[in-house]
Amino acid sequence: MRAVTRTLVGAGTAVGIAVGSLAAAGTGAAATAQDTKPAVAAESVAPLAVNNLGLSKAQAKNLQRVLHRDWGYPGPIDGLLGTQSWQAMQRYLKKHWQYRGPIDGIVGSGTVKGLQRMLKQHYGYRGAIDDIAGPQTKAAFKRFANDHG
């Protein structure tokens, strides 16, 4: 009886290995085909970075309304300062506040410096133009957003 059981188990194992190898071969072929042409572009699924620099959603909506009206912001007025909001802000900073970087929607050092220049001139920012969006920068940015509400 044991010999029969070993033979059946051995045969079952061999079939399982063969089926598994075929399945793996099919999966490998599918993976190769999939790698050559993605079903969805990475840009369409990547989340947009949101950086409100301390603004509440209501304050960010105030800013988005100005950016929509005057600086080509095409997105929703949702209180989330994402790439499109910051691109519009960079257009404003480039025209008036010596921003020299790309219009890429990334809140980098050039964007913060341009923002600090504007805030220093009009919204009580007293800190250095140092590209650090610290508490003084954020407080002045809130005054700017509240002023446009």
pLDDT in tens, 31-40: 444 444 444 4
The model's confidence at residue 61, banded by pLDDT at 50, 70 and 90, is very high
Which residue, 2, 1, 123, 102, is CA-closest to 53? Answer: 123
Evaluate if residue 30 carries a pLDDT over 70. Answer: no
Dihedral over Cα of 28, 31, 35, 37: its sign: positive
Q: How far from each other are the two terminal CA atoms of the chain, in whole angstroms?
A: 87
Residues 39 and 74 in one domain: no
Residues 67 and 37 in one domain: no
Find the domain containing 36 and state its range: 2-45
pTM of the model: 0.67
For 11-125, strand residue ranges (E) read none
The model's confidence at residue 149, banded by pLDDT at 50, 70 and 90, is confident
Residues 85 and 23 in one domain: no
**Within a domain: 52:** no
- Number of domains composing the chain: 2
Residues 75 and 135 in one domain: yes
Task: Using the structure block, give the residue that is written with the tokens 């099919």.
Answer: 26
Cα separation, 48 vs 37, in Å, equals 24
